[in-house]
Amino acid sequence: MHSTTRNSLITLASVVFLLVIWKLIAVVIGADIIMPAPETTIRDFANIVKSPGFWPSVGATVLRGLAGFFISCILGLGVGIAAGLSSVVYWMVQPFLTIIRSTPVMAIILLALIWFNTELVPVFVSCLMGFPIVCGNIIQGIKNVDIQLVQMAHIYQVKPWRIVLELYLPSLLPFFMGGASTAMGIIWKVIIAAEILSQPVLGIGTQMQTAKTYLETARVLSWTIAIIGVSFFFESLMHALDNKFRAWR
């Protein structure tokens, strides 16, 4: 059997297994309010997708996530390049990176709630989560640029801007893509946490919190499925981009 077909079948079997376990637990507990059955959840999911509030909520969350993602990429790229090239900048940013990395997400969200309006909190938090990852990877990337190649380009009198564009940037790309993919994965997790606490008007997190308040467990799971879908979509997109950029491998 073709190996990709085989792998798809294994994945499918695993999903079926998960649904069976889920169903079994739901039957044993016998209370929808604690553990709704898979079919109940899927029916509910179909309902919210059809409801008028679905796409605006998903859209608002996606926009915040992408805003946080792009800002952390730009900041990470800028600071990362500066820190990779200058040891002064490198040692200057280390404490900031360490503090941001070790502060619990909830602490950042609570502080953001105090400082910013509700719409901005998720963007700020996802920025702060994505930035150190992208920045760290870019620093690694700069340190990995092959000095022998740079020397070759200097001897052949290649213009500095061309060395940056055609030598440094392509060397950095895999590191940037690695950091951006990781950041993309984490951002969807923290953005929901931030939305649940900050309650912007529209957002998947807001919807989840509302559903939880009314003890609509199936609804909480439905919105969870929605954010898993969003996360999966963007991770696949990053993966496809990464493959496209690295045709030379």
Partner 1 sequence: MNGLTGLVVEHIFKQFDNLPVLGDLSLEVKENRMACILGPSGCGKTTLLNIIAGVISPDSGSITGCQDKKVSYLFQETRLLKWKTVRQNIEFVLKDHLPVAERRETVNRYMEMVGLSDFADYYPAKLSGGMKQRVAIARAFAYPANLLLMDEPFNGLDLAMKMSFIKAFTDLWLKDRRTALFVTHNIQEALLLGDEIFVLSNRPAHVKHHITVDIPHQERTLEHPQIIQLENTLYNIITTA
Interface contacts to partner 1, rule CB under 8 A: 148-149, 151-159, 162, 166-167, 170, 173, 246-249
Tell me the closest approach of the beta carbon of residue 171 to partner 1, in angstroms.
Answer: 8
In angstroms, what is the minimal distance from the CB of 149 to partner 1?
Answer: 6
Q: Return the number of the residue (90 or 245) whose C-beta is nearest partner 1.
A: 245
At 157, which helix (H) or strand (E)?
A: none
- Least Å distance between CB 47 and partner 1? 49
SS in 3 state form for 87-133? HHHHHHHHHHHHHHHHCCHHHHHHHHHHHCCCCHHHHHHHHHHHHHH
Alpha-carbon distance of 16 to 177, in angstroms, equals: 33
**Whose Cβ is closer to partner 1: residue 87's or residue 148's?**
148
Residue 95 to residue 63: CA distance in whole angstroms: 30
Which residue's CB is nearer to partner 1, number 51 or number 243? 243
Phi, psi at 198, each rounded to 5°:
-90, -20
Who's near 209: CB < 8 A, 6+ residues apart? 195, 196, 199
**Closest approach of Cβ 27 to partner 1, in Å?**
54
- Tell me how far, at minimum, the Cβ of 159 lies from partner 1, in Å: 5
- Comparing CB distances to partner 1, the nearer of 152 and 228 is 152
Output the smallest distance, CB 239 to partner 1, in A. Answer: 19
DSSP state of 202: S
Single-letter code of the amino acid located at 105: V
Give 1 or 247: the residue with its C-beta nearer to partner 1.
247
Nearer residue to partner 1 within complex by CB, 83 or 142: 142
Name residue, tokens 């805003």: 67
Given phi > 0 = left and psi -120 to 50 = alpha, else beta, which region is 215?
left
